[in-house]
Chain A
Amino acid sequence: MATTATDTSAYTHDHGNAHVDDRPFIRKYIFSTDHKIIGIQFLIMSLTFLLLGGTLAMVMRWQLGFPGKPLPGGTLLPETYTNNGVVLPEFYNSAVTMHGTFMVFFAIMPLLVGVFGNYLIPLKIGAPDMAFPRINMASFWTAVPAGLLMLAGFFVEGGSAAAGWTSYAPLSARSDLTGVHLGQIFWCLSLIILGLSSIMGSFNYITTVINMRAPGMNWFRLPLSIWALFVTACLVLLAIPVLSGAAILLLFDQTIGTHFFDPQAGGQPLLWQHLFWFFGHPEVYILILPAMGMASDIIANGARKPIFGYTSMVLAIISIGFLGWGVWGHHMFQSGMNPTLGTTFMISTLLIAVPSAIKTFNWLGTIWQGNITFHVPMLHALAFVSMFVIGGLSGVFMAASPFDIYIHDTYFIVAHLHYVLFGGSLFAIFAAVTYWYPKMFGRMMNPFWGRVHFWLTLVFYNFTFFPMHQLGLHGHMRRIYDPTQYAFLREMQPVNQFISISAFCLFATQFLFAANFILSWFKGEKAPNNPWLDNGLEWTLPSPPPHGNFATVPTVYRGPYEYSSPHSDLDYIPQNVPTPGGAGAAHPQPAGD
């Protein structure tokens, strides 16, 4: 590795000890305004919630695969959760709700936006930090109490929220219907607080990207990850306040006796759905766009080839950002809204498939005639493409409104959304974490265990979620505690059991990642500045980069995807290198290969 470090320094300026960082520990690591520390804080927080959400999923899978059998360790839980170890419907509904809530709001969204938005934006655009570092810090320290409040629901009388992560009113508004009072209030409060955090983060990102790009980093030299995070930040900025507004109305219904969503006093249950999904569909793209962006960076790097169709990739991101606002009704085809709207939403929904398809074809174009290095992040990024294709194509089924009549609220939807959120977002997150881990922590993750984790995850992931399509096609409803109550589902029980066992294996596999993550932090191989031979500005810095990032403001001469350029002997040219040249260096080998 020592030779690699020398080789990769070909393009790296030696910063020496330009920054003497003498901040006390608490300012450096706890209440830090450094975007890199905040990114890592978000990483730790959201991985914790990812684990929690996964654990709840295991509870659900146990009950679905083996209904009525005592949950292993279930007797340790309070009697309001389990009866002799058997999961109670209360707990199941809580698990359904909190799994969704944790995963969407406290795991995937902060992982993509909180972690990589924070970590990558200033580094990749050549800025010393965010535009508003203190607001950035406040953003993290607002997200933490929001998460704790959401978690607190499990420890209060009545248990946590149990009306689904979509919290459809009036079920969520009337505590007598669920038996959950405080938990439901906590859900609203927590999301309102988290909304503040997201808004603080997003206007920070937008300002930073617009105003703080290094000289020469014009809009069409931005890496696609930054484009995606920028558009995502715009979506967060505009969508989250709608959720906050809706959650506030719901909170008032629960607490001070208003009746926004309760038809008994003139309220409108569908109003909640409209508000929620008006936020909710942009949210879906919030959860996938950054994944697409980061996967693009990694795929171009792994293929050692410029990204195919950079401009059309950018246009696709932007058009998803726009079209995403006009499709929320497809979540409500069966809700009783005016059926004429159904046709409109069907067409707009089908059209939003186009930019996603463009991106997929461009990724294929990128690896075509490449010189593909299969490092661990690349494996995850390729899995992202391959799984996202399945998730995207299964979306066409439910976009066609007549067929959605049949599969709406069935396991087909569960399969679809997990192919997008797990197969899409989470594989991209694995890719991104392994890719930028050396930059974050100055150490490499173990590539062997990385590969083991990747392959096991890919296999068990497909074993878990692919058969859910079949369950859905058979009419298996979502969110039911015990499918064997229905004769037509009893014959599908072997599939449910197979899914459950695969899910347990999938969950267990993730501990490989956790162990690799934690152990590498302390014992991993020291990372060179540019282990993947990437062109991005962050790779010109030491690993980890010092506080304030760049000793001298870098100047950007070209886009981020100049791999295998004929103007260079090497197969990459960092964005800040004025004249291409080999500097006599041999072809360095990417790490982990």
Chain B
Amino acid sequence: MRRMMLGAAVLAVGVWGCGGSKGNASNGAAGNSTSAVAQSGGSTGPTGNAAVSGVIHFTGAAPSNPKIDMSQESACQGKYKTPPTDPQYVVKDAKLGNVFVYVDSGLPNGAKYTASAPTQIDQDGCLYHPRVFGAVVGQDIVIKNDDNVLHNIKAVPKVNRGFNISQPSAGMTSKRSFSEPEVMVPLECNVHGWMHAYVGVLTHPFFATSDSTGSFSIKNLPAGTYTIKAWHEKLGTQQQTVTVGAGETKNIDFTFSGPKA
């Protein structure tokens, strides 16, 4: 009885903590189509008014995402009406979400960018939101726990110094940053083995993550010729070259095909 009451209490706190407003909690797709930095302009370094935008297409049958057994984590399970799945593939109308699109090369030599505003990743319903995002070297990444359970956040980079911290209670935030460019740095939670997120660390703010409709947009680019790369956690990386003039917006699309069965 006591245990049940405690469970209910945890549940209540959990619901209160997330405000019940996260309608799209189950698919975990990035809500914003551009990085916070590029949009807010909270960065230094040469920028312009050119833009690159487009859509990520997906061909083939969308693989089903694995179900997550949250039965041992009632505080998280309570946030879902349908059984949660691990959003490895965010596919809707043959468009692919959670693809990290970024400028790989072509920026003026010696250009240095820093971000003044932090970017944020939430742990809500025992999943990361966003799952795929970018950060500028040195930019603070605010890590927030919206679940009233322990999460640990372990970064397993190859180039950067990793970290492994814990957030035992709801509402807790921590700040971390990476000092070297690295695409992508995986983040994971070891309390909940299914939780994965990926952060692309770049020297500049010209990156975006495709939203649930597959579209992305990289704004404030100086005029120039760029190699644009698109990365997906399961489907690898593609690249295209694009030239944009001042004030121009170029459209480029990428097409990923599903894994062969």
Within 8 A of A (CB), among B154-178: 154, 156, 161-169, 172, 174
Check if A158 is an interface residue, CB within 8 A of chain B.
Answer: yes
Q: CB-CB < 8 A to B172: which residues of A?
A: 83-84
Q: CB-CB < 8 A to A490: which residues of B?
A: 2
Check if A176 is an interface residue, CB within 8 A of chain B.
Answer: yes
Shortest distance between the CB of A356 and any CB in chain B (Å): 41
Q: CB-CB < 8 A to B152: which residues of A?
A: 89
Q: CB-CB < 8 A to B3: which residues of A?
A: 487
Chain A window 177-198, contacts with chain B (Cβ cutoff 8 Å), 1 for yes, 0 for no: 1110100000000000000000
* Chain B, Cβ-Cβ closest to A80: B165
Q: Are the CB atoms of A176 and B156 closer together than 8 Å? A: yes
Check if B150 is an interface residue, CB within 8 A of chain A.
Answer: yes
Chain B window 30-66, contacts with chain A (Cβ cutoff 8 Å), 1 for yes, 0 for no: 0000000000000000000000000000000000000
For the complex, what is the distance from the CA of A416 to the CA of B247, rounded to whole Å?
Answer: 75
Q: Are the CB atoms of B165 and A179 closer together than 8 Å? A: yes
Q: Are the CB atoms of B169 and A176 closer together than 8 Å? A: no
Q: Are the CB atoms of A176 and B174 closer together than 8 Å? A: no
* Chain A, Cβ-Cβ closest to B164: A179
Q: CB-CB < 8 A to A370: which residues of B?
A: none
Q: Are the CB atoms of A176 and B2 closer together than 8 Å? A: no
Q: CB-CB < 8 A to B167: which residues of A?
A: 83
For the complex, what is the distance from the CA of A80 to the CA of B150, rounded to whole Å?
Answer: 15
Shortest distance between the CB of B41 and any CB in chain A (Å): 28
Shortest distance between the CB of B144 and any CB in chain A (Å): 12
Check if A79 is an interface residue, CB within 8 A of chain B.
Answer: yes
* Chain A, Cβ-Cβ closest to B163: A179
Q: Are the CB atoms of A177 and B169 closer together than 8 Å? A: no
Q: CB-CB < 8 A to B169: which residues of A?
A: 68, 83, 86
* Given A83-B172, A490-B2; A88-B156 close (CB under 8 Å): no
Q: CB-CB < 8 A to A90: which residues of B?
A: 165-166
Shortest distance between the CB of A100 and any CB in chain B (Å): 20
For the complex, what is the distance from the CA of A490 to the CA of B2, rounded to whole Å?
Answer: 10
Interface size grouping (class) on chain A: 20 to 34
Check if A262 is an interface residue, CB within 8 A of chain B.
Answer: no
Q: CB-CB < 8 A to A158: which residues of B?
A: 163
* Given A79-B174, A83-B172; A176-B164 close (CB under 8 Å): yes
Within 8 A of B (CB), among A478-501: 481-482, 487, 490
Check if A509 is an interface residue, CB within 8 A of chain B.
Answer: no
Check if A394 is an interface residue, CB within 8 A of chain B.
Answer: no
Q: CB-CB < 8 A to A88: which residues of B?
A: 165-166, 168
* Chain A, Cβ-Cβ closest to B157: A176
Q: Which of A79, A84, A178, A482 lies in contact with B164, CB distance below 8 A?
A: A178
Q: Which of B154, B161, B168 lies in contact with A482, CB distance below 8 A?
A: B168
For the complex, what is the distance from the CA of A68 to the CA of B150, rounded to whole Å?
Answer: 12
Shortest distance between the CB of A376 and any CB in chain B (Å): 44
* Chain A, Cβ-Cβ closest to B166: A89
Q: Are the CB atoms of B168 and A179 closer together than 8 Å? A: no
Shortest distance between the CB of B186 and any CB in chain A (Å): 11
Q: Are the CB atoms of A176 and B162 closer together than 8 Å? A: yes
Q: CB-CB < 8 A to B162: which residues of A?
A: 175-176, 179
Q: CB-CB < 8 A to B161: which residues of A?
A: 157, 181
For the complex, what is the distance from the CA of A88 to the CA of B2, rounded to whole Å?
Answer: 26
Within 8 A of B (CB), among A151-185: 157-158, 175-179, 181
Q: Are the CB atoms of B2 and A179 closer together than 8 Å? A: no
For the complex, what is the distance from the CA of A181 to the CA of B162, rounded to whole Å?
Answer: 9
Chain A window 62-79, contacts with chain B (Cβ cutoff 8 Å), 1 for yes, 0 for no: 000000100000000001
For the complex, what is the distance from the CA of A196 to the CA of B166, rounded to whole Å?
Answer: 36
* Given A89-B150, A490-B2; A177-B164 close (CB under 8 Å): yes
Shortest distance between the CB of B140 and any CB in chain A (Å): 13
Given contacts A89-B152, A158-B163, A177-B164, 17 further A-B contacts (CB under 8 A): A68-B168, A68-B169, A80-B165, A80-B174, A83-B168, A83-B172, A84-B172, A86-B168, A86-B169, A88-B168, A89-B150, A90-B166, A176-B154, A179-B163, A179-B165, A482-B168, A490-B2
Interface of B toward A, CB cutoff 8 Å: 2-3, 150, 152, 154, 156, 161-169, 172, 174
Interface of A toward B, CB cutoff 8 Å: 68, 79-80, 83-84, 86, 88-90, 157-158, 175-179, 181, 481-482, 487, 490
Can you name 12 A-B residue pairings with CB atoms under 8 Å?
A79-B174, A83-B167, A83-B168, A88-B165, A89-B166, A89-B168, A158-B163, A176-B162, A177-B164, A178-B164, A179-B165, A481-B168
